[in-house]
Amino acid sequence: MSKLYSKESLSEVAGGDEDFMAVVAHTFLEEIPPDLAALEDAIQNDNKELAYQFAHKMKPNIEMFGIEILKDIASIESWTRTSKNKTAIADNIEKVSSTLKTVFKQLEEDFPQ
């Protein structure tokens, strides 16, 4: 299975330093899973303000890792400023969730503790 994150992007951020890449990966694995859970809960509870905060907070990390879900994150952010029901972004949050959960597994394999 091909990687859903870009090791090249991570290497670029870390200046090619493998140890620093591991630190960045481990930090991602510490911070993003709880943020993802909070985003999912906020959407489930129709808390648009909180959903926006978590989607926006996650964006720089997703971009830094070259994960191809920025359009979905943007759609979630846009949804928070509408009166639309959460079903309008069901596909977006599903893609974000499944993609990130796969990335978590890949990072754990690539950067074991």
> What domains are defined for the chain?
7-110 (1.20.120)
Mean pLDDT by 10 residues, the chain (113 residues): 92 94 97 98 97 97 97 97 96 98 98 92
User: pTM value?
Assistant: 0.94
**Is residue 68 helix, strand or coil?**
coil
Residue of 13, 20, 21 whose CA lies nearest to 110: 21
Give the pLDDT confidence score for residue 113 in this predicted structure.
Answer: 86
Residue with tokens 């960045």: 24
Return d(Cα 75, Cα 64) in angstroms, integer. Answer: 19
Residue of 50, 25, 26 whose CA lies nearest to 38: 50
Give the pLDDT confidence score for residue 14 in this predicted structure.
Answer: 92
- Which CA distances in Å does 85 have to 43, 66, 89? 10, 29, 8
Axis-axis angle for helices 48-64, 70-79 (nearest 10)? 160
Residue with tokens 């509408």: 82
Backbone angles phi, psi at 40, to 5 degrees: -60, -45
Three-state SS sequence of 80-105:
CCCCCCHHHHHHHHHHHHHHHHHHHH
